[in-house]
Amino acid sequence: MLDTIALAVSAVIGLSLLLNLGRFMIGPHMLDRLIALDTMYINAIALIVILGIFRGSPLYYEGALVIAMLGFVSTTAVCKFILRGDIIE
C-alpha cells in the first residue's frame, strides 16, 4: 500500500519538477527563474524524503536536511547578486 502511494507521489513530484523547468525556461524575469530553481530544491527534498520512506532508511532525511540548508544559501546568494550586483560587501 505504502509502496504504491510512494510511487504515485514521486510521479507527482516528477511532474512538478517538469513544471518548474517550464517556469524556469519561460521566465521572463530572473526572479521567476530563481524561484523556479528554489522550488526545484524543495521538490528534490520531497523526492528524497519519499525515497527514504520507500526504502525505510533514515539516512535520506539527513540528506534532505542538508539540501534544505544548502538550497537556502545558494538562493540567498543569487538574490543578493540580483539585488546588489555583488554578494559579499
Partner 1 sequence: MPRLTERWGRSASAAAAALLPAAVLAILLPRVSAVLAGQVYRLEANWIPSHGMNFGFQLDGLSLLFSTLIVGIGLLVILYARYYLPERDKGGRFYAYLLFFMAAMLGVVLSTNLLQLWFFWELTSVSSFLLIGYWHHRSDARRGARMALTMTGAGGLALLGGFVLIGQTVGSYDIGQVLSNGHLIQSSGRYHAILILVLLGAFTKSAQFPFHFWLPHAMAAPTPVSAYLHSATMVKAGLFLLARLYPILAGTASWFLIVSITGMLTMLIGAYQALLKHDLKGLLAYSTISHLGLITLLFGMGSALAAVAAVFHIINHATFKASLFMAAGIIDHETGSRDMRKLNGLWKHMPITATLAMVAAAAMAGVPLLNGFLSKEMFFAETLDQSTLGSISWMIPVFATIGAAFSVAYSLRFIHDVFFNGEPVNLPRKPHEPPRYMRVPVEILVALCLIIGILPEYTAGKVLAGASTVVLGGQLPTYHLHIWHGLNTPFVMSVIAMFAGGAIYYGRGRIFKLQTFFPARDESRLFDDAMRKGQHFFRTLLDHFDNGSMQRAVFWLLFVALVFMMVPLMELDMTIGLRPQIPVDFVMISGATLLCVSSVATVIWHHQRLLAILLLSVVGLVVAIVFALFSAPDLALTQLSVEVVTIVLLLLSLHFLPKRIRNFSSPTIIIRDASLAVLIGGVVGTITFALLTQPFDTISGFFTENAKSLGGGTNVVNVILVDFRGFDTYGEISVLAIAAIGITALIDGIHQAKIPSDPNALGWAIDKHPMMLSVISQAMLPLAIVVSVYIFLRGHNLPGGGFIAGLITAIAMIQQYVAQGYTWLAARMPLNYPSMVAGGLLTAAMTGLGAFLWRQPFLKSWHGHPHLPLIGEIELASAMVFDLGVYLTVVGACMMILSRLGRLSSSSEAR
Q: What does the binding site for partner 1 look like in residue numbers (CB under 8 A)?
A: 7, 10-11, 13-15, 17-18, 21, 24-25, 30, 33-34, 37, 40-41, 44, 47-48, 51, 59-60, 62-63, 65-67, 69-70, 72-74, 76-78, 80-89
Task: Please say whether the beta carbons of 16 and 43 come within 8 A.
Answer: yes
Q: Which of 16, 37, 40, 18 is nearest to 27 (CA)?
A: 37
Q: Which is nearer to partner 1, 40 or 53 (CB)?
A: 40
Q: How far is the CB of 23 from partner 1 (least distance, A)?
A: 12
CB of 85 to partner 1, least distance (A): 4
63 neighbors 44 (Cβ within 8 angstroms): no
- Residue number, 53 or 67, with CB nearest to partner 1: 67
Look up residue 85 and give its DSSP letter.
Answer: S
Closest among 4, 89, 1, 7 to 51, alpha carbons compared: 7
